[in-house]
Each structure stands twice: as structure tokens, then as C-alpha cells.
Amino acid sequence: MMKAISYSAYGGADVLEYGERPDPKVGPDSVLVKVRAAAVNPVDWKAREGYLQSQLEAVFPVIPGWDVSGVVVQPGIAVDEFAVGDEVIGYVREDFLSRGTFAEYVAAPVRTLARKPLNLSFEEAAGLPLAGLTAYQVLHRWLRIQEGETVLVHAAAGGVGSLAVQLARHAGARVIGTAGEHNHDHVRQLGGEPVAYGEGLADRIRALAPDGVDAAFDTVGGEALRASADVLKPGGRLTSITDGEVFSYGGRYAFVRPDATDLAQLGALAEQGVVSVHVDRIFPLEQAADAYRLNEEGRTRGKIVVTIPWDG
Ligand SMILES: NC(=O)c1ccc[n+]([C@@H]2O[C@H](COP(=O)([O-])OP(=O)(O)OC[C@H]3O[C@@H](n4cnc5c(N)ncnc54)[C@H](OP(=O)(O)O)[C@@H]3O)[C@@H](O)[C@H]2O)c1
């Protein structure tokens, strides 16, 4: 048996329980990862509250969490990509909810994994996969940003936004990022030009980019999405990861996919110092419910991470 966080019915953070769960079985093309750290993502609590019921079946009790950093302790019988002792990161999403990363061990299909960047701590590394892959895939696959373009990134201090700002800058784009005033210096450090969200947002963006923006990455929805559509140049590209209304503006909706090649590329960019992960707060696994409550407030800078004591 292993220690894990789990829930047996949809609901708020109070349904989360810390206790014992059976060790996961390791499929032929999976590896058993001893978890060092797991990052909180808003999708975890949205799924827990039942918002994804129509898309993802929940096999209760569900262990939440899709982000992980840890150490391989047992490769599946048909795995030669990883060996015992390898340090890895993963966006361990399957098409149902059950065996997440908020546990001492997770069985992770190799398609969800890459080598852990050597220069990142386990806490930083755990924050990279889901948010980093989302930023990477939206910027390069969906928006197809080009050098010299102006890109609008919403929630530029958040998990996805902060990585998107850094990746877009690395691709040679100019980046305008929305954030609260308290985060403006942080957004500048990431390489973006901060703009306050709220009433008058489109006017403030136009003051910075009078001809409009070439591409907009919506991570907030609602007003942010409307303002994005408003400031797009003719022929500009719009992608949302959070609001299906994007289709009515001629944009597209993206959902991040596990992809070992993309994850390895992201890891390499982290090792080159192109992207860094800001760890906002660290909680022990037992306090995962508090970690989720904090993220649900919507003010996370970078990532919130839970850690598991390491006994070697
Ligand atoms: N479809 C997908 O594949 C996918 C993948 C990843 C995430 N998502 C979704 O994308 C959203 C963002 O995810 P995340 O992990 O980046 O969340 P997060 O880290 O929890 O976002 C927190 C940030 O949002 C900022 N924020 C809050 N309200 C804002 C507003 N009105 N305008 C601009 N910024 C605002 C906050 O900045 P201040 O403190 O400065 O207000 C804070 O830094 C979530 O809804 C998540 O579920 C979807």
C-alpha cells in the first residue's frame, strides 16, 4: 500500500482524503515512478468538482494530479527508454480519472514522460510538464507564432502564462501579458510587457500595440477573450484553453496533449535557461487540500507544488 490523496465523490476540496491506496500496477509500456513532487493545476479541481464528467470517466476513488517529477523504480516489461534510478518528469494524463500523481507512486506510460532537466529542483521540475506543454503546443502548433510578431498572453504570471511569455520571447516575439499590478515586475522579468486586466483592457493593449496583435493566447476566458478578439489584427490568430466561446470569434480551442517529444524539448529549453519555473508555495502531500484551496483563489504566481518525503 502507498500513501495518497484521493476522493470518492465529486465535490470541493473537503472531499480530498489522505490515506492508503494500493500500489499501482505497471503496464507493459509504463514505468513505476516514485513521486518526489506533484504540481497543482486548475484542471485537477475542475475535474474533482465534476466539470469534466462529460469527457472523462471518473473511476472512484480518484487520485488527483497529472504533473509529476520523480524517480523510476520499475520499468514495465516492454520499456527500454527508462531504467531504475532515472529522474523523470511527466504529464501523466490518461483518458479517465483514477491513478493520479498525488501519491507515493504513479504508473506512468512512457508517452507521458521525459528526463528531468538537471538544473531544476524536483519542485520546479514538477511544475513544468502540464503548463509548459500547454504553452509550447498552443504557441507553436495552434498559434504558429513567428519571429517579430506581437503576441498577447493572458494571466502572464500564472502557471501557463509565465511559461508562454518565456517561450514566445525565445521564439523572437514581442509579448504583451495581462496581470494584476502586483505581478507587473514579475512579468517584465519573464520578458513580457505587462498590462493590467479589467475594465478598459482592450484600450490599454491598443496603447501598446496600435496596429493590434498577431496572435492571442487566452487562458482566462470571458472579458479576456472578448478583448483578445477586439485587438487582433485582420487575419490574426486566437486560441483559448478555457472558453468554448472562442469559436464564435473565429478562434480555436486547445487541450494539452501528453507528448514525450515535446516534453523532452521543453526539458532541453529549461536546461538551456530559456524557461524557468517559479514555485509559489510548497505543501506536504498530506496538506494537498490546502494547496488546491490556494490555487482555487486564482492568484497563483507560477506553480503550487506538493512534495513527498524522500527516503532514498
Ligand atoms: N485546455 C488546456 O489544455 C489547459 C491547460 C492548462 C490550463 N488550462 C486552463 O487555463 C487556465 C489557466 O491555467 P493556469 O494553470 O495558468 O492557472 P493559474 O496558474 O492558477 O492562474 C493564476 C493566475 O491567473 C491570473 N489571473 C486571474 N484572473 C485574471 C484575469 N482576469 N486576467 C489575467 N490574469 C488573471 C492571476 O494573476 P494576478 O494575481 O495578477 O491576478 C494568477 O497569476 C485555467 O482555467 C486552466 O484550467 C487549460
Which tens digits make up the pLDDT trace of 17-50? Answer: 999 999 999 999 999 999 999 999 999 999 999 9
Name the band, by pLDDT with cuts 50, 70 and 90, for residue 309. confident
Say yes or no: CB of residue 109 within 6 Å of ligand 1.
no
At 88-109, the pLDDT tens digits run: 999 999 999 999 999 999 999 9
Q: Express as a percent the part of the chain with pLDDT over 90.
A: 99
b vs e for 108-126, b when ≥16 Cβ sit within 10 Å of the residue's Cβ?
bbbbbbbbbbeebbbbbbb
For residue 287, is pLDDT > 70? yes
**Of 310 and 123, the one with more pLDDT:** 123
Residue 162 falls in which region: left (phi positive, over 0), alpha (psi -120 to 50) or beta: alpha
8 A C-beta contact, residue 281 and residue 139: no
68: buried, middle or exposed (CB in 10 Å: 19+, 13-18, 0-12)?
buried
Q: Does residue 312 have a pLDDT over 80?
A: no
pLDDT of 185 > 80? The answer is yes
Q: What integer is the mean pLDDT of 283-305?
A: 98
- Of 241, 50, 293, 13, which is closest to residue 131 (Cα–Cα)? 241
Give the per-residue pLDDT at 54: 95
Confidence of residue 114 (pLDDT cuts 50, 70, 90): very high
Q: d(Cα 249, Cα 182) in Å, to the nearest integer? A: 31
Mutation pick for ligand 1 pocket among 153, 219, 279, 299 (CB with most ligand atoms within 8 Å): 219
Q: How far is the CA of 77 from the centre of ligand 1 (A)?
A: 39
Mean pLDDT of 80-89: 98
* Whether the predicted pLDDT of 134 surpasses 70: yes
Ligand 1 within 6 A of CB of 41 = yes
Of the candidates 20, 107, 64, 68, the one whose C-alpha atom is nearest the C-alpha of residue 288 is 64
pLDDT > 70 fraction of the chain, expressed in percent and rounded = 100
Please give the single-letter amino acid code of residue 190: L
pLDDT at 78 over 70: yes
Give the SS3 label for residue 113. strand
**Ligand 1 contacts CB of residue 129 (under 6 A):** no
The β-bridge relationship of strands 213-218 and 232-240 is: parallel
Cα 107 to Cα 35: distance, rounded to the nearest angstrom: 10
Q: Is any ligand 1 atom within 6 A of the Cβ of residue 228?
A: no
